[in-house]
Amino acid sequence: MPTVDVGATETNTDLDSLLTIVPEEPTSTPIPTPGGLDDTARAQIYVQVVIALLGKQTPPYVYISPFLGGGERLDEPDETKPLPEELLPALKSANSTPNYEIADFPDAIGPLDDGGKVKNNGVFITLGEIMGGDQDKSVVTVRGSIYTKVGAAEGDRFRLKHDGSRWKLINSTQEWTD
């Protein structure tokens, strides 16, 4: 590690090399388990979020964005963060009633001038990143949104806890609605 003598008038290190020494502060809380979550655990968490977003409704089709969403309304897909491949099989195993499909938003909805309804009387779900942040390392927070048509969308924040065998929803908070 280079050292800088504050009393010196000349130094062998320039500003750029000093800046690379300072670690960046994380912008989010790391995943709560020491080794992180594997794709199977991530899929289990997302299954609980999808089921919670659907609530009591059972649409014939549930389209899910292939990428994690960013932004206030999760409407900015991050193509560097795909959903785990295990998600669709896990959803079908947990609740086989709707047809689940991974699709980009433009492919799942009809024309906006016709109300932008989700095709096949379905819903479109976008999932956010799994975040830690609770003192309890077995608790995670995930944002999710559900869209039916223009003017019919909602975004929620979900807290889940691992009870030693599976992930369970603790609570949810509505963040926005259209």
Q: What pLDDT, in 10s, does the model give residues 116-159? A: 999 999 999 999 999 986 677 789 999 999 999 999 999 999 99
Rounded Cα–Cα distance for residues 154 and 177 (Å): 4
Model-level pTM?
A: 0.79
Domain boundaries, the chain: 29-177
Residue closest to 131 by CA, chosen among 43, 51, 67, 42: 42
The reported pLDDT for the residue numbered 47 is 96
Q: What is the pLDDT of residues 69-84, one digit of tens each?
A: 999 999 999 999 999 9
Using CA of residue 97, residue 174, residue 63, residue 131, what is the dihedral sign?
negative
* CA dist list (Å): 85 to 12, 81, 102: 50, 12, 10
> Chain-wide mean pLDDT for the chain?
84
Amino acid sitting at position 29:
T
pLDDT score for 7: 46
In Å, how far are 8, 48, 97 from 103, measured between CA atoms?
60, 19, 18
Check if the beta carbon of residue 132 is closer than 8 Å to that of residue 159: no
pLDDT class of 42 with cuts at 50, 70, 90: very high
